[in-house]
Amino acid sequence: MTRTIIPFGPQHPVLPEPIHLMLTLDDEVITEAVPAFGFVHRGLEKLVEIRDFHQMIYVVERICGICSMLHAMCYCQGIEEMMGIETPPRARFLRVIWSELHRMHSHLLWLGLFADSFGFESLFMQFWKIREKILDIDEATTGNRIIVSVNVIGGVRKDLTLEQTRGILSELKSVETELKRLETTILNDYTVQNRTVGKGVLTAKQAYELGLVGPTLRASGVMQDARMLKYAAFDDIAFTPVVETDGDCYARCKVRFREVFQSIDLIRQAIGKLPNGEIAVKVKGRPDGEVTSRVEQPRGEVFYYIRANGTKHLERLRVRTPTFANVPALLTMLPGAGLSDVPVIVLSIDPCISCTER
Amino acid sequence: MFTMTSTILRNLLKEPATRRYPASVRPSFEAARGEIRNDIHVCTFCGVCAVKCPSQCITVDRKAADWSYDPSACVQCGVCAEVCTSGSLQQARDYRKPVRKKELVVLKGATTPPKHSDPPVTG
């Protein structure tokens, strides 16, 4: 049997972003996978030296196109903790609403891409059609579809009117109905199950030891979610993480699909309990000290380390994104898998390379 | 089997989900963050927008009464319009039309505006 080395990516039809995998194959079976990064590094962390700490909100938002709001939220929560700022309750609830809308559109994007990775293109289009409704809510309430720019240090920039919250609830209702219609296709269809069940299995022990985060970890049966830390308004909202136990690509798909419904529920709860009052407090002074901040992004937990020295520029900003933690899973999942399963397994961790390389 | 059939049939009977752009254009949302416009006759050239802009695409020359910005570097965050002291900067709902060449938008005020702190001239 001959040993073959096949380069997978950085440009590949199923990859939304550039990651390079050097696959060593024994016939059709993978024996080794070596990933390589560095195609979209932009040096955004270094920008803290020339942009002040208020302007950095708009920079960190652009680390990732999909979880932008959660990057800004994590950064703002870190600075607020450092400066001892108490955000108004309404702002904390509004942050939950927009962050869960972000999770929804990210998961819907992923569900579409995942369907596309095993060649189910019509399902891909159906999910993206539903996603447009969420993007329309974002644009109507914040002014932009993806880079919503609502976070500021001390609260949020935009408020929701009563009419807008009613609009969100009615749109969510139709999103829920349309998603339920697709449930049998994505979860029970013969084609989908044939390509995903039993592929790229990770046991709970393996997943925990590899330090995985987010849906990739929860699909292996480990109940861990940064929202359990009760940041923003999560201490007032009932929340239990979605967990599956099989640890294969199908389980990861199931976790994300169920999380979309969970987000709808969280938004409904947040709108139901939305308190009246201020949406932001005035910020005086400059940050000093160091702080770490964690937030649950659609792909898992994001970690910010911020160090400041009392000037308007921060001294150091370090971002550890969920995909950086999830890539080691590929090195465990790919060996033993067939070449045709590589796109499905790679997509199953929801790789976001712009996040990882910053 | 045939789990997608009902969705396919529904789609065949319904109107298309997409629009025939540019023949049919959806009107912008009221809150949409579009192009930045400056009413140069109201602008006091204070320069706050240039200082606050996260992408540093605005340049203000107080002496020459010049206000310029680079639309291709602008990220349309809307911070400049929010901090504008005179209310001359506004963010429109509509996006900027595509262009063939990258060019700065340079606006020139008629004269250097008087400083607010100047005492009124009395005869």
Which pLDDT does position A271 carry in this prediction? Answer: 92
**Number of structural domains found in chain A:** 1
**Mind telling me how many Å the CA of A111 is from chain B's nearest CA?**
15
CB contact under 8 A, A62 and B75: yes
Integer Cα distance of A317 and A339 in angstroms: 39
Q: How far apart are CA B92 and CA B74, in angstroms?
A: 14
A165 assigned to some structural domain:
yes
Q: Do B79 and A188 lie within an 8 Å CB cutoff?
A: no
Q: Considering only CB atoms, which chain B residues are within 8 Å of A142?
A: 31
- Contact criterion met (CB < 8 Å) for A54 and B17: no
Q: Residue A147: its chain B contacts at CB < 8 A?
A: 75
The distance of Cα A35 from the centroid of its chain, to the nearest Å, equals 21
Q: Which of A51, A57, A188 sits opposite B3 (nearest CB)?
A: A188
Q: Give the one of A136, A157, A189 whose C-beta lies nearest to B3's C-beta.
A: A189
Residue ranges of chain A with per-residue pLDDT less than 70 = 1
Closest Cβ opposite residue A58 in set B31, B33, B54: B54
* Domain residue limits at A102: 3-347
Chain A residue with the nearest C-alpha to that of B2: A189
Question: Any idea which residue has 């909100």 for tokens?
Answer: A57
Q: What CATH code is carried by the domain that includes residue A171?
A: 1.10.645.10
CB-CB neighbors (< 8 A) of A128 in chain B: none
Domain-located, residue A353? no
Beta carbons of B32 and A143 less than 8 Å apart: yes
B123 has a pLDDT exceeding 50: no
ipTM of the complex: 0.79
- Contacting residues of A for B75, CB less than 8 Å apart: 58, 62, 147
Q: Calculate mean pLDDT across residues B84-99.
A: 86
Distances from the Cα of A161 to the Cα of A140, A267, B72, angstroms = 11, 15, 32
- How many CB atoms sit inside 10 A of residue A60's CB? 25
Q: Which of B8, B11, B29, B91 to mutate to test the interface with A (most CBs of A within 10 A)?
A: B29
Say if CB A295 and CB A231 are below 8 A apart: yes
Place of tokens 């929560």: A77
Class of the B38-109 domain? alpha beta
**How far, in whole angstroms, is CA A72 from its chain's centroid?**
13
Smallest CA–CA separation between A160 and chain B, in Å? Answer: 11
Its sign, for the CA torsion A250, A252, A256, A261, is positive
DSSP A40: S
- Can you tell me which residue has the tokens 């997978």? A8
| B8 vs A contacts (CB less than 8 Å) | 122
Say yes or no for a CB contact (<8 Å) between B75 and A185. no
The pLDDT assigned to B21 comes to 87
Question: Cβ contact (<8 Å) for A51 and B54?
Answer: yes
Residue pair B109/B41 in contact by the 8 Å Cβ criterion: yes
Over residues A32-64, the pLDDT tens digits come to 888 888 888 888 888 888 888 889 999 999 888
Whether residues A122 and B3 touch (CB distance < 8 A) is answered with: no
Quote the mean pLDDT of chain B. Answer: 83
The predicted structure's pLDDT at residue B111: 61
Q: If pLDDT is split at 50, 70 and 90, which confidence band does B122 have?
A: very low
| Contact criterion met (CB < 8 Å) for B75 and A58 | yes
Task: Identify the pLDDT of residue B115.
Answer: 55
* Token code pair at residue A353: 């390379």
Q: Measured between beta carbons, which residues in chain B are less than 8 angstroms from residue A141?
A: 31
Q: What pLDDT digit, counting tens, does each position of A269-322 carry? A: 999 999 988 888 888 888 888 999 999 999 999 999 999 998 889 988 999 999
Give the per-residue pLDDT at B113.
Answer: 54
In a domain, A352, yes or no: no
Smallest Cβ–Cβ distance between B17 and the set A129, A139, A190 belongs to: A129
**Is A271 strand, coil or helix?**
helix
Q: Where are the domains of chain B?
A: 38-109
